[in-house]
Amino acid sequence: MNQFHNMQQFKSDFFKALAHPMRIRILELLSEGNKNVNELQQILSSEGSAVSQQLAVLRNKNVVYGIKEGTTVVYSLRDPLIKDLLAVAKQIFDNHLVDAITMLEDIRKT
């Protein structure tokens, strides 16, 4: 039972780490390759403190890790399967979108 509880707690903490639009976008960007804060900041058109704050949450939940290269820290996904998880989440979203569009089309026909 304790192992079950630990697994549920891990899953809960993991999904809490994902529960922010900027964190999701950061993970999508890191899925394409390692990046430092400045690169993420430029792509996201966001200030460094906001990006750093979200990276800290992802780091604390062991979703990403940073390696110091000179004066900058380069961030990577802790597990490459996160890329697959994001792809599955997108598929689920697309399926819901298709269902919603189909339902709207059915309503229009009546």
Please give the pLDDT value at position 42: 95
Q: Whole-angstrom Cα distance, residue 60 to residue 19?
A: 14
pTM tops 0.75: yes
The CATH number of the domain where 13 resides is what? Answer: 1.10.10.10
Residue 45 lies in a domain: yes
Asked, for residue 88, whether it belongs to a domain, the answer is: no
- Domain around 14: 2-78
How confident is the model over 78-93, as pLDDT tens digits?
999 999 999 999 999 8
- pLDDT tens-place string over residues 29-55: 999 999 999 999 999 998 879 999 999
The number of domains in the chain is 1
In a domain, 102, yes or no: no
- Does 48 or 66 have the greater pLDDT score? 66
- In a domain, residue 105? The reply is no
Residues in the chain: 110
